Amino acid sequence: MSKLSVKINEQEKSYPIIINDNPVSTLKDAIFSRLEGKKFLVVISEKVEKLYGKALGFEKTEKFILKDGEKEKNFKNYKKILERALKLQLTRKDTIIAIGGGVVGDLAGFAAATYMRGINFIQVPTTLLACVDSSVGGKTGIDTSFGKNLIGSFYQPSAVFINTNFLQTLDDRQFKTGMGEVVKYAFIEKSCRSEEELNLTNFLTENTEKILTRNLRTLESLIEICVKLKISVVQKDEKESGLRKILNFGHTYGHAVEKFTNYKKYTHGEAIVKGMEFAFNLAVKRNIIDKNYKFFANDVIKKFGFKSIPDYPIEKLIKLMKMDKKAEFEYITFILPTDYSEVAEFKFTEKDLL
Ligand code: GLY
């Protein structure tokens, strides 16, 4: 078991992240030990409810069960959660608890951020992607027809409970989508400016088999490394005004691929792996890195057997990249590799890219 802590704005927004493989049935007590008020609302993914509802032990009246899929991260469900919270008469001291993947965490987090101008929020991520990325750092939000996460807020949870048992029942694609974000941390590690040398690339190459067979202890160590890197970044830049942008490595192109294929064909992780490959190619073309680093990176990526994505027409992807939240005027921003495990921000015009 490990207990990490996030310190944002000195102590003001600090919270613990507890990582372990204790039986799922022990989670409720652990969560209760972090409640301030008496009341709470659990927002839980339908899949997780089916598999673990009994072991978790929450009453039906305490739960809002959310169907699975990105399309559920919408206004309608946001409103429904707020109405349930109002019906339960939650006060500011009470808590919204998210149990599920990124969709549940983002949606429940946004409800928590805005209900009574902000109530306690606890994250229990149950997918690898949510464990290593979305449950830490306070990004919350919902999607609209104009795009993903365009409405949201930065709102830090009061605790995050990561239990690796949930990862045993993820389907292979779900697991691999999380691995996409994990591999990303390996390529940005030095730029995360963690005080500790974590050497994720070595960990990935030395433990590939154990990761893919989901050895509980290996997953715990893997998540711990990624969370430490993410903590290091968000502590330095909570609101993404500088350093935090490096977490978008692979995302400019990856988001465009997701949009171009209507979010149906590929998972987020698969798309950002393609985005990282694009970034490595671009960096070689611009003489930012040499070819050997690109080949090395491709070998690391290959170990995890991500679904391969074809090259879609660049003109169409550029159009979508220009609509990205990260785009500024005529520039498209990319995080590109500059050296082993180091990245930096670069801006290109459409003409440059073509
Ligand atoms: N998912 C990227 C971030 O939290 O900034």
Model pLDDT for residues 287-309, shown as the tens digit of each residue = 999 999 999 999 999 999 999 99
How many Å apart are CA 170 and CA 246, to the nearest integer?
27
State the distance from the centre of ligand 1 to the C-alpha of 247, rounded, in angstroms.
Answer: 6
Q: Would you tell me how many other CB atoms lie within 10 Å of the CB of residue 224?
A: 18
CA angle, residues 253, 303, 215, in degrees to nearest 5: 115
Instruction: Establish whether 80 is a catalytic residue.
Output: no
Least confidently predicted of 4-8, 10-14, 159-163, 300-304: 10-14
* Predicted TM-score of the model (pTM): 0.95
pLDDT in tens, 78-115: 999 999 999 999 999 999 999 999 999 999 999 999 99
Ligand 1: which of 132, 139, 227 to mutate, judged by most atoms within 8 Å of the beta carbon?
A: 139
pLDDT in tens, 162-199: 999 999 999 999 999 999 999 999 999 999 999 999 99
Residues with CB under 6 A from ligand 1: 133, 137, 139, 240, 244, 247
Q: Which atom of ligand 1 approaches the CA of 248 most closely?
A: 2
> Are the C-beta atoms of 114 and 140 separated by less than 8 Å?
no
Strand 15-20 versus strand 95-100 pairing type = unpaired
How many Å apart are CA 256 and CA 196, to the nearest integer?
34
Q: Is the pLDDT at 278 greater than 80, yes or no?
A: yes
How many Å apart are CA 125 and CA 326, to the nearest integer?
26
Residue reference for tokens 């464990």: 131
Tell me the domain boundaries of the chain. 2-168, 180-353
Ligand 1: which of 160, 185, 238, 247 to mutate, judged by most atoms within 8 Å of the beta carbon?
A: 247
pLDDT in tens, 252-265: 999 999 999 998 99
Residues 6+ apart with CB under 8 A from 75: 142, 144
Catalytic residue, chosen from 245, 268, 274, 326, is 268
Tokens of 107: 């949606």
State the distance from the centre of ligand 1 to the C-alpha of 112, rounded, in angstroms.
Answer: 18
Q: Which atom of ligand 1 approaches the CA of 138 most closely?
A: 4
- List the CATH code of the domain at 2-168: 3.40.50.1970
Instruction: Establish whether 251 is a catalytic residue.
Output: yes
> Are the C-beta atoms of 40 and 95 separated by less than 8 Å?
yes
Instruction: Establish whether 244 is a catalytic residue.
Output: yes
> What's at 131, amino acid-wise?
C
Catalytic residue, chosen from 84, 163, 248, 277, is 248
Q: Is the pLDDT at 324 greater than 80, yes or no?
A: no
Residue whose Cα lies nearest atom 2 of ligand 1: it is 247
How many Å apart are CA 51 and CA 194, to the nearest integer?
36
How many Å apart are CA 245 and CA 243, to the nearest integer?
5
Instruction: Establish whether 255 is a catalytic residue.
Output: yes
> Are the C-beta atoms of 138 and 89 separated by less than 8 Å?
no
Ligand 1: which of 226, 244, 258, 272 to mutate, judged by most atoms within 8 Å of the beta carbon?
A: 244
Q: Of the candidates 190, 218, 192, 182, which has an alpha carbon nearest to the alpha carbon of residue 293?
A: 190
Q: Would you tell me how many other CB atoms lie within 10 Å of the CB of residue 76?
A: 9
How many Å apart are CA 173 and CA 59, to the nearest integer?
31
Instruction: Establish whether 240 is a catalytic residue.
Output: yes
Tokens of 8: 């944002």
Q: Which atom of ligand 1 approaches the CA of 230 most closely?
A: 4
Catalytic residue, chosen from 47, 63, 184, 244, is 244
State the distance from the centre of ligand 1 to the C-alpha of 240, rounded, in angstroms.
Answer: 8
State the distance from the centre of ligand 1 to the C-alpha of 267, rounded, in angstroms.
Answer: 16
Query: In DSSP terms, which residues pair with 45 in a beta bridge?
Result: 66
How many Å apart are CA 230 and CA 185, to the nearest integer?
8
Class of 180-353 per CATH?
Answer: mainly alpha
